Every structure is written in C-alpha cells, then in structure tokens.
Structure 1
Amino acid sequence: MSATLPAGAQVPGSGETVIEASATQARRGSVTNLPIPRYVSLKASEGNVRRGPSLNHRIDWVFKRRSMPLQVTAEYGHWRRIQDRDGAGGWVHYSLISGVRTGLVDEDMVPLFSRADTGAPILARLEAGVIARLMECDGTWCRVNAGGYRGWLTENSIWGLDPGEQID
C-alpha cells in the first residue's frame, strides 16, 4: 500500500519530518534548509514521479521534458515533492532536479524584446509551452535564453517564479 506523506508526517525511526509551506508563509526544508516552496528544473530528460518518497512507491507518471520548471513543495530525505504548472506532481529523487532556474512561457506568441522595454525591438515571438532559461529577473522583466534567442520577457508571461521575484 502506498500513500503520500502529509506535512508533519514522520517515518518511524527516521527522525525526519515532511515540511510543507503554508499558504501564508514560506518555510525552510528540514533537509536542505532551502525555502519551501521554491522553483527548480528537471535535470534529466526523464523523471519518475512517485506516489510517495521511496522507490517502493508506485510511479504515477514520468516527466519527459528536460529543464522543465517545477515547484518543490515538500522534502523528505533524498526526496522532493514537486508540482508542475498544472499542479500535477508527486515525489522525485533529488538527483533528478537542478537549481538551474527555468520558466515556462504561459501565453502564446509572447514577444521577446532586445531590452527590458516594451518599445524595444522584438527579437522573436515565443509560443506557449516554450522553456526559457532565466538568466536574471528584476521583479518586472526577465532576461532569458529560449530556443537560441536571448532577450527580455515580462515576468507575468512565464511560469516558474514568484510574482516580483528577483534573480541575479
């Protein structure tokens, strides 16, 4: 029988507790001491998503997009509970994720500007679902690398960062 561990659950004898963020406040992971929730990306080209934090738990599905942005919502030992843009998720082994920040273009035909200014020349238009590497974000604009193009997107056109988040 398999089950997802709720926040605060402990595996007998482990001494570790699943930490999950509340709706009002970010917490720190008991394993990594990193903020929860936080954004990461899929390191591998395939990642098994399990019902619980061990190899004994059933694989519910497999993520198949390298660099896909994911949100970590809990951690337990070597396992991280993650979810994608649509809220689908489960537990993955920490070796399958990376701290490299990426974003998923949320709208269709989003303009990629040559600089952080809506009056700047448009370098390309990105389709919904394109994965962009986030190079820097200032709270309004993000400098990205997407599909061989480098330029600027407005933060509200991508999923994979908190509103107003700054990335250096």
Structure 2
Amino acid sequence: MAIGPKIRFASVSSFGRRRRAACALVGASLCLGVISVHAQQAVGSATGLAIPRYVSLKSDHVNLREGPSKDHATKWIYQRPGLPVEITAEYEIWRRIRDSEGAEGWVLHSLLSGKRTVLIEPWKKNAPALPLYAQPQEDADVKAKLAPGVVASVKSCDGTWCRLKGDGYDGFMSQTNLWGVYPGEKVE
C-alpha cells in the first residue's frame, strides 16, 4: 500500500466533520475494547479470581515445572509448606506462580492453598529480626522479633498493618516488611 502526500484543507465541510466524528467514535470504541481486554485479563481463566494474587504452598513437595503439564520438566522442588507464592496465570488445572526470589513456573492447583501467609523481609537475608507489636503501632509493646525469611500466617491486614500469627507469637507488623501481601491490600 502506497502512502501519498498529506493534503490539508483550509476549511472542513460538514462531510469532513461527520467523518471526523465517526473516526473519533471508532477510536473510542477501540480504546474501550482494549480496556475491556485488560479487564478480562485481570481474572483467571479457570477460576475467575484475581490475577495476580497471593496463595501459599500446601505441601512439602511441590514441583515447579517449565510448562502447564506433567510432561514439562521440573525446574525446582519446593520443600517448605506454607511458603507464599504469587499466581500470575492460570491454564486449566495449572497455575503459573512466582516466588519471592522471582523464580517462575507452573504447579498443579491442588498443591496450592488460599491460606494467606507472608515472608518477613526476604530481600534482607542477614538483617536483624523485626519487632512484632502488640498493637498496630510502633510505640506498642514488642511481642516477639521475627527474622527475615520467617513464614507467618496472616490473620488480617488493614492496608498498613498485618496481624501475624505463628507458633509462639501473635502480633502486628507493618505491611512494608512483608512479601505475600500487596501494598495497601486489606485481608480479612
């Protein structure tokens, strides 16, 4: 298809105005179609649940595969039940997940749990333990200290603080220190 020189008209006829209006309408429709496609991509094709979303590993032996079938090679084996992971896609009974270190692959949906857990600052391997407060405020009594990499169960989050519970502890920590909940996310 050849593209010719651009021709400009000094005035726009009523035909030109109608044509521009029609083009604007078509353009708006295409934009809405793109927005609709993005909105449709925000939910899983198998479950209708939000994508991405956090879940946790149900088992102490979870194969992370290269693709969504048992025919695909195993890239990694997780051996830590309760580990939080992020579901980034769905295909039938398979879920593509990402862990806190950025590793991605596919796992069977039956090996995942909707139970919410978090990792304490996994990006700070050798940092000191963080305080877990009796109340959702930094001047509250310290109930415990949790080291980076500890997995904790989420009882609730208000968008700023999460109540965490585990063996021997129950208290509050700022969401900014946690991997397994989104910034500002509320969990009940």
Asked whether the two chains share a fold, i.e. TM above 0.5, the reply is yes
Deviation (angstroms), 1:25: 9.5
Separation of aligned partners in 1, 2:78 and 2:85: 10
Residue among 54, 58, 67 paired with 1:52 = 67
Gaps of 5+ in 2: 1-37
The structure having more radius of gyration, on CA atoms, is 2
Pairs within 5 Å for 1:1-168: 27-106=42-121, 107=124, 108=127, 109-168=129-188
Percent identity for Structure 1 against Structure 2: 45
Deviation (angstroms), 1:95: 0.5
Deviation (angstroms), 1:117: 1.1
Alignment length, in residue pairs? 146
TM-score of the superposition, structure 1-length normalised? Answer: 0.83
Gaps of 5+ in 1: 1-21
Deviation (angstroms), 1:26: 6.6
Amino acid at match of 2:137: D
Separation of aligned partners in 1, 2:158 and 2:41: 20
- For the aligned residue pairs, the C-alpha RMSD in angstroms reads 1.6
Asked if 2 retains the 8 angstrom alpha-carbon contact of 1:71 and 1:84, the reply is: yes
The structure with the largest strand share of the pair is 1
Separation of aligned partners in 2, 1:110 and 1:145: 14
Amino acid at match of 2:135: R
Separation of aligned partners in 1, 2:157 and 2:77: 30
Cα displacement string for residues 23-49 of structure 1 (whole angstroms, at most 9, x for unaligned residues): x99700010000000000000011000
Structure 1 runs of 4+ with >6 Å offset: none
